[in-house]
Structure 1
Amino acid sequence: MALFSASFIALLLLLLHGTSTGQEQIPNSDVDLLEFPLNLEFLEAEFFSFAAYGRGLDSIAPNLTLGGPPPVGGRRANLSPLIRDIIAQFALQEFGHLRAIQSTVRGFPRPLLNISAESFATVINQAFGQPLRPPFDPYANDINYLIASYLIPYVGLTGYVGANPNLQSTKAKSLVAGLLGVESGQDAVIRTLLYERASLKVRPYPFTVAEFSTKISNLRNKLGKEGVKDEGLIDRTRLSRSVAEGRIFRQPCRWRTNETQLSLRVGTT
């Protein structure tokens, strides 16, 4: 019986191997949905890498840039050893994302990215509806950098969730599922680290970490123009039917980009 079982399994594996149809072709519609997130993946890779190492793709993995121009304004952040190590791990994950996408579709050269303190300060000013004084500096310390990082992975994971139902090939769906899992994990780590510091003031401003997160989430909701899809660290409207908790974005995402902001529009749930 054992011999029969082993022979049967071997025959089954041989038949499965023999009926392989080769590498799956990815339709053009999937290529578009896989290539566009490269903009955000490049941004994350450079922002995390410069903060952790003081250098970016041009120094660490120049082949991934595909000849694109170097980013503007990146620098090593003033981070504690623990936060620096976490951000370094994020950077390495983003390098892997770039490799995964570029090995699946042709991709394009790294775009010109502005990861300067001034660029992030502009977004924070938009979130608060007024200029902060002094201007917000994401590279100044742990809290500032985590707040700046709070801006980014959520956009990526939401974009992947919106794109996934529109993908046709199993290869593209498998890739996006893997990317989505890592982006979600990064967002969870950032939210956890910020939640531990939620009641702390973001010096020298009179606002707490929780208040910063709420302002940023409100800005994302405003840019999305589809109601409450995002919420800060502390949910003050838990009993409201309009809160974002548990909602899944089921419709295609539509992106708008410029030098200082990357916003996402999604359909209704």
Structure 2
Amino acid sequence: MPKLSRRESLHALAVAGLCSSAGLHWPTPALAQAASPSDLKDEDIFQFALNLEYMEAEYYLRATTGKGIDAADLGSDPGSVKGGRKVSFQDKAIGEFADELAENELAHVRFYRKTLGSQAVDRPAIDFEAGFAAVAKAAGLPDFDPFANDMNFLLGGMLFEDVGVTGYAGAAPLLQKKEFVEAAAAILAVEAYHMGMARSQLYQMGDKAQKAANAVSVARDKLDGPADKDQGIERNGKANFVPATPDGMVFRRTPQEVLRIVYLTDKAGVDSGGFYPKGMNGTLKST
């Protein structure tokens, strides 16, 4: 059998659901024949990441300032954003944490736009209202509003941060340029700091927050495929701040698995939905 390109392997794996938390496995000959013939470029992966960073930055900026990303950082033809408003934080520390999150995610958007240059994709259309409504329904959280209070804000952030960490871990082995690998690793570390803080804060809020966070985790894991790549913040009656494999490593998700979560679908071949009503911009946009 001829050697597959990286994109061929990635596409076939996503369709078959053969990804495991330990890494990627080789597809069967039948799946290889159905795969795309072109190679995946580092820029394709960074464009994919930029789409996610746009969403995270919009979420945190709207929660902390009441408005989103400035026009100068959106591209020439950005999509619209539906939903989001300033949160009335009751806990001073959580409010300051939120400000730091917003600064970090906006910095990530600017980094990717600077690095990609003319290849930087515009902000895609983002729908927080439909996205969170669907997540709430799947997780059994009636009338969930992520901008209503401190706990809900952290739950909404956890939805993105956990997925971002696993997405960066899954994409990093696909990068070829040393400087791109270094950048992805550095951003992954920041996203992991975010995730750990949000999960620990939620755990300390008590039973209601713990159950809600675990429900979000279960809902995500049902979307991304058959492998177990998610963990709640409470397991066996104890705190679980760090979701990890038995080897103490971060879970890995392929771009297609990430797309299933943010598009809120468990089906292959979907190119829009959920938080991205018109899909992501760039090469990597289909589950």
- Tell me the TM-score normalized by structure 2: 0.69
Does the C-alpha gap of structure 1 residues 75 and 252 become closer, same or farther in structure 2, counting only changes over 3 Å? Answer: closer
Q: Which runs of 5+ in 2 are unaligned?
A: 1-38, 239-243, 264-271, 277-287
Q: Percentage identity across aligned positions?
A: 31
- Residue 96 (structure 1) aligned to one of 97, 103, 107: 107
Note the C-alpha offset of 1:237.
Answer: 8.8
**What is the match of residue 48 of structure 1?**
60
Give the AA of the match of 1:190. Answer: A
Q: One-letter code of the match for 2:75?
A: L
List alignment gaps of at least 5 residues for structure 1.
1-26, 200-207, 263-269
1:126 partner amino acid: A
Runs of 4+ aligned residues of structure 1 deviating over 6 Å after TM superposition are none
Summarize the Cα distance change of 1:101–1:252 in structure 2 as closer, same or farther, 3 Å threshold.
same
Distance 1:250 1:72, change over 3 A: closer
The 5 Å alignment of 1:1-269 reads: 29-58=41-70, 62-67=71-76, 68-80=78-90, 81-105=92-116, 106-116=119-129, 118-128=130-140, 132=142, 135-199=143-207, 208-236=208-236, 244=245, 246-249=248-251, 252-254=254-256, 255-256=259-260, 257=263, 258-261=272-275
Query: Deviations for 1:189-246, whole angstroms, at most 9, x for unmatched residues?
Result: 10011011132xxxxxxxx1111111111111111223322111111399xxxx8562
Partners of 1:153 and 1:66 lie apart in 2 by 24
The offset of 1:139, in angstroms, is 1.1
8 Å Cα contact 1:38-1:98 kept in structure 2: yes
Mapped to 2, the partners of 1:183 and 1:250 lie a distance apart of 14
CA RMSD of aligned residues (A): 2.2
CA distance in 2, matches of 1:251, 1:73: 27
Count of paired positions: 216
For the 8 Å contact 2:245–2:251, the answer to whether it is kept is: no
Q: Which residue of 2 aligns with 1:204?
A: none
Structure with max Cα Rg: 1
